[in-house]
Amino acid sequence: MRISDFIYEIKEGMAISFQAIRANKMRSVLTTLGIVIGIVSVTLMGTAIEGLSRGFNDSISKLGADVLYVQKWPWFAGGDWWKYRNRKDIKMAEYKAIDRQAALIQAATPASGTIRTVKYQDNSSSGVFIIGSNEKYLEIGGSSMDIGRFFSQAEADGGRPVCVIGSEIATNLFPHTSPLGKNLKVGNFTFRVVGVMAKQGSFLGMFSLDNRVVIPMQAFLQRFGTRHGIEIDVKAKDIKQLDDTKEELRGILRKVRHVAPGAEDDFAINQQEMFIQTFNAIGLVVAGIGLFITALSLFVGSIGIMNIMFVSVTERTKEIGIRKAIGARRGTILLQFLIEAASLSLIGGLIGIIISYPLSLLLNQILPTSMPISVVAISIVISLIVGVISGFLPANRASKMDPVDALRYE
Amino acid sequence: MNVINIKNISKTYVMGTEEVHALQNVSLQIERGEYVAIMGPSGSGKSTLMNIVGCLDTPTTGLYEFNGVNVSDMNDNELAKIRNKEIGFVFQTFNLIPRSNALHNVELPLIYGGVPATERRRLAEEALQHVQLADRMHHKPNELSGGQRQRVAVARALVTKPSIILADEPTGNLDTKTGDEIMALFEELYNQGNTIILVTHEESVAEHAHRIIRIRDGAVERDEVIKKDGAVKTAASL
């Protein structure tokens, strides 16, 4: 068969299936119900996964992908809790060593945190994160200032009683006035507000990144000094050299902490990749469940189409006979009914996409997402494939009909 | 030259446990340009013969040569090609595609034959003009009278310029007057050089042909040539 013949037959098949579907509108739409549900489930699942991962990436990028966290505890280790518990705390000495010696880092800051109630006049806010850091905090954390300024290196080194507040604190404690220059009570100590950071939102929707007060590390250690040591946040110069940077830090830390050669590290260098790996594992489970539901509804939809195609073939036995008598080959008839089944399924797919679009907007209320175009494309391809598969048996039956018997059929 | 050369063909159907011999040792030749009627009562085997002649079915045994080509052992797709290019069918019940208009019905064999769109449209319009239906091209079958439908069917049969036109009771569903018009159309087609094979059980219809082959009990009973003046001569004595 020549290509041009094939194109005529496809065109003819499309015209026939269009007529046939139009002649049985109600039946056709009902038939596609299973596919509609399947495609709605495909698109929503795709949108949800997209939303989860986008939300996660947004949150993770607030931390910065090129930041390493030197801590006592690894983020995702499990296992021997006591081993980590008994490690030596990380102290300012380690920070100073890193700051002085590391060549591959752009910036490093010591960091420590606690939770206190914060007050200004009659307004107060409890459960606020109080973070001790230095002037590199902004650079490393990837945040920016809304008004005012961040505290300077001199203020940081001198442990001055100044603070920078998150946007949520600013709105809660200073609803009517500018917070700049005001004296804030953090626990029992007074800090002068020098700046307000830009709004950052929440981490995975769980806790607010704007409900915080950042103060110089020295001031933090003097006033809230904990027994638990600190962490060191390090921003690499080049994200491509993250592994090298990590190695460099390891070397410095092992020396400062006097780790014997061959002994295991007694600290952890955490990075976001660990978060991402854990998250991907969760995403995989969600996708698996979604895939199962989707496959089930598409299977039901496929049976519906197969059923109605058998009806359609039987109804049109005479027509098949006529077409065969005037020269339609088996392949021609097969193609005609395959196209019809695929068209039915495609209609179901399009209806499904139309239904899921507003639902995805609803989903957007919970997750930062929109229906990705790739999911739309995949849905269309899936419905075409389902149509062809479910149409095959009926189409095959039609193509193998004996023309004499088919012509005699009333 | 013979368009149709049938030698000792038989067709046997198995109905349950019983074998039905629809045709037994039938032989016949039809030349290009002939106007032949195949006649016989129902159950005589004439429909079976027509199906075999029309390449809708194959004989159980025997040889069938169409235009010198053996078609008795052809597969479905090869037969479909012969039907498409070489045979124009006209049926008792018209057998048009109900949802397609007259023009598209006539175009259909050309679509299956792979004729390009513009050429196809031209040929189909020509064929419809030939049967005086140029003004009804865009009507669907249910918007046409019985006679008009049958003329659309004739146009569809003609459009591929086939070697034979095979008409099965073409006037069976028409009133006498319309039936006569259709028979006049066949006469005209015959005069233009077409080979026509008419299957009927009506003597009055068969008389339009120039040769009558009578079938009874699955065998050729009589094969006679009717001269234009009405005299009858058996084929054997020619």
Q: In a mutagenesis test of the A interface, which of B49, B111, B115 is the best target, namely the one with the most A β-carbons within 10 Å?
A: B111
Within a domain: residue A233? yes
| Amino acid at residue number A66 | D
Residues of A whose CB is below 8 A from B22: none
Q: A62: which residues sit within 8 A by CB, 6+ positions away?
A: A141, A142, A143, A200, A201, A203, A209
- The first and second tokens of residue B143, run together, are 């918007």
Look at A285-294, B29-38, B65-74 and tell me which has the smallest mean pLDDT.
A285-294
Instruction: Tell me which of A241, A266, A291 is where a domain ends.
Output: A266
- The first and second tokens of residue A360, run together, are 């995805």
Q: Do residues A230 and A289 share a domain?
A: no
Within a domain: residue A70? no
Q: Do residues A92 and A219 share a domain?
A: yes
Chain A closest-CA separation from residue B231 CA (Å): 36
Within a domain: residue A346? yes
Q: Which residue of A has its CA nearest to B77?
A: A329
Q: Do residues A236 and A303 share a domain?
A: no
Coil, strand, or helix at residue A236?
Answer: strand
Interface of B with A in 94-123 (CB under 8 A): 95-100, 108-109, 111-114, 116-117
For A9, A349, B92, B151, B204, the CA distances from B171, given in Å and listed in that order, are 32, 48, 7, 11, 11
For residue B161, is pLDDT > 60? Answer: yes
Chain B closest-CA separation from residue A342 CA (Å): 20
Q: Do residues A240 and A132 share a domain?
A: yes
Distance CA B159, CA B102 (A): 13
* A291 within 8 A of A46, measured Cβ to Cβ: no
Note the pLDDT of residue A47: 83
Residues of B whose CB is below 8 A from A321: 95
Q: Do residues A111 and A52 share a domain?
A: no
- The first and second tokens of residue B67, run together, are 């235009």
Count of other CB atoms within 10 angstroms of residue B184: 11
Is A331 in contact with B77 (Cβ distance < 8 A)?
A: yes
Chain B closest-CA separation from residue A1 CA (Å): 9
For residue B236, is pLDDT > 60? Answer: no
Picking from B56, B84, B156, the nearest residue to A404 by CB comes out as B56
B157 alpha-carbon distance from chain centroid: 9
Picking from B89, B112, B117, the nearest residue to A328 by CB comes out as B112
For residue B1, is pLDDT > 80? Answer: no
Share of chain A above pLDDT 90, in %: 35
Collect all residues from A whose CB is shorter than 8 A from any CB in B: 1-2, 4-5, 8-9, 12, 19-20, 23, 318-319, 321-332, 402-404, 407
Interface of B with A in 173-232 (CB under 8 A): none
For residue B232, is pLDDT > 60? Answer: no
* B30 within 8 A of B2, measured Cβ to Cβ: yes
Put simply, whether B161 touches A (Cβ < 8 Å) is no
For residue A226, is pLDDT > 80? Answer: no
Task: Please provide the average confidence, as pLDDT, over all residues in chain B.
Answer: 91
ipTM for the complex?
A: 0.92
Put simply, whether B51 touches A (Cβ < 8 Å) is yes
Note the pLDDT of residue A65: 72
Picking from B76, B95, B114, the nearest residue to A322 by CB comes out as B95
Residues of B whose CB is below 8 A from A325: 54, 56, 83, 89, 95
Residues of B whose CB is below 8 A from A403: 56-57
For residue A242, is pLDDT > 90? Answer: no
Instruction: Tell me which of A200, A234, A266 is where a domain ends.
Output: A266
Task: Please provide the average confidence, as pLDDT, over all residues in chain A.
Answer: 86
Number of domains in chain A: 2
Put simply, whether B149 touches A (Cβ < 8 Å) is no
Distance CA B85, CA A402 (A): 19
DSSP letters, A240-262, are GGHHHHHHHHHHHHHHHTTPPTT
For residue A196, is pLDDT > 90? Answer: yes
Q: Do residues A167 and A101 share a domain?
A: yes
Is B81 in contact with A329 (Cβ distance < 8 A)?
A: yes
Coil, strand, or helix at residue A176?
Answer: coil
Instruction: Give the domain extent around A142.
Output: 88-266
Is A322 in contact with B97 (Cβ distance < 8 A)?
A: yes
Strands B211-216 and B35-39: parallel
Q: If you average pLDDT over residues B166-186, what whole number do you get?
A: 93
* pLDDT-derived band at B229, boundaries 50, 70, 90: low
Chain B closest-CA separation from residue A407 CA (Å): 8
Share of chain B above pLDDT 90, in %: 79
CATH of B33-57+76-237 given 3.40.50.970, 3.40.50.300, 3.40.630.40, 3.30.300.30: 3.40.50.300
Q: Do residues A111 and A250 share a domain?
A: yes
For B1, B84, B172, the CA distances from B67, given in Å and listed in that order, are 8, 14, 29
Q: If you average pLDDT over residues A54-74, what whole number do you get?
A: 76
Within a domain: residue A96? yes
* pLDDT-derived band at A79, boundaries 50, 70, 90: low
Within a domain: residue A72? no
Q: Do residues A244 and A289 share a domain?
A: no
Q: If you average pLDDT over residues B212-221, what whole number do you get?
A: 93
Note the pLDDT of residue A1: 56
Q: Do residues A129 and A226 share a domain?
A: yes
Give the residue, B43 or A342, on which the prediction is more confident.
A342
For residue B238, is pLDDT > 50? Answer: no
Within a domain: residue A156? yes
For residue B233, is pLDDT > 90? Answer: no
Count of other CB atoms within 10 angstroms of residue A163: 27
Query: Cα–Cα–Cα angle for B106, B111, B114, nearest 5°?
Result: 140
Put simply, whether B91 touches A (Cβ < 8 Å) is yes
Q: If you average pLDDT over residues B224-235, what whole number do you get?
A: 62
| Amino acid at residue number A313 | V
Strands A207-208 and A189-197: unpaired
Note the pLDDT of residue A7: 82
Within a domain: residue A340? yes
Strands B211-216 and A67-71: unpaired
* A355 within 8 A of A40, measured Cβ to Cβ: yes
For residue A152, is pLDDT > 60? Answer: yes
Residues of A whose CB is below 8 A from B56: 324-325, 403-404, 407
Note the pLDDT of residue B25: 93
Note the pLDDT of residue A214: 93
Picking from B51, B84, B116, the nearest residue to A327 by CB comes out as B84
Q: Do residues A155 and A211 share a domain?
A: yes
Q: Which residue of B has its CA nearest to A324?
A: B80
Distance CA A211, CA A172 (A): 10
Q: If you average pLDDT over residues B93-121, what whole number do you get?
A: 92
Note the pLDDT of residue A63: 64
Put simply, whether B78 touches A (Cβ < 8 Å) is no
Q: In a mutagenesis test of the B interface, which of A5, A320, A322 is the best target, namely the one with the most B β-carbons within 10 Å?
A: A322
Chain A closest-CA separation from residue B205 CA (Å): 22
Interface of B with A in 3-22 (CB under 8 A): none
| Amino acid at residue number A118 | V
Note the pLDDT of residue B237: 42
Is A326 in contact with B116 (Cβ distance < 8 A)?
A: no
Is A327 in contact with B99 (Cβ distance < 8 A)?
A: no
Within a domain: residue A78? no
Residues of A whose CB is below 8 A from B156: 326
- The first and second tokens of residue B212, run together, are 């009558």
Chain A closest-CA separation from residue B192 CA (Å): 22
SS (H, E, C) B44-93: CCHHHHHHHHCCCCCCCEEEEEECCEECCCCCHHHHHHHHHHHEEEECCC
Look at A14-18, A148-152, B210-214 and tell me which has the smallest mean pLDDT.
A14-18
Q: If you average pLDDT over residues A384-397, what whole number do you get?
A: 95
* pLDDT-derived band at A363, boundaries 50, 70, 90: confident
Q: Do residues A317 and A381 share a domain?
A: yes
DSSP letters, A72-95, are SS-SS--S-HHHHHTSPPP-HHHH
A315-362 tens-digit pLDDT:
999 999 999 999 999 999 999 999 999 999 999 999 999 999 898 888
Residues of A whose CB is below 8 A from B124: none
Strands B87-90 and B164-168: parallel
Share of chain A above pLDDT 70, in %: 94
Distance CA A395, CA B139 (A): 29
- Count interface pairs A-B at CB distance under 8 A: 69
* pLDDT-derived band at A386, boundaries 50, 70, 90: very high
The alpha carbon dihedral of B75, B77, B78, B80 has a sign of positive
Instruction: Tell me which of A240, A266, A292 is where a domain ends.
Output: A266
Q: Which residue of A has its CA nearest to B120?
A: A8
Distance CA B90, CA B71 (A): 21
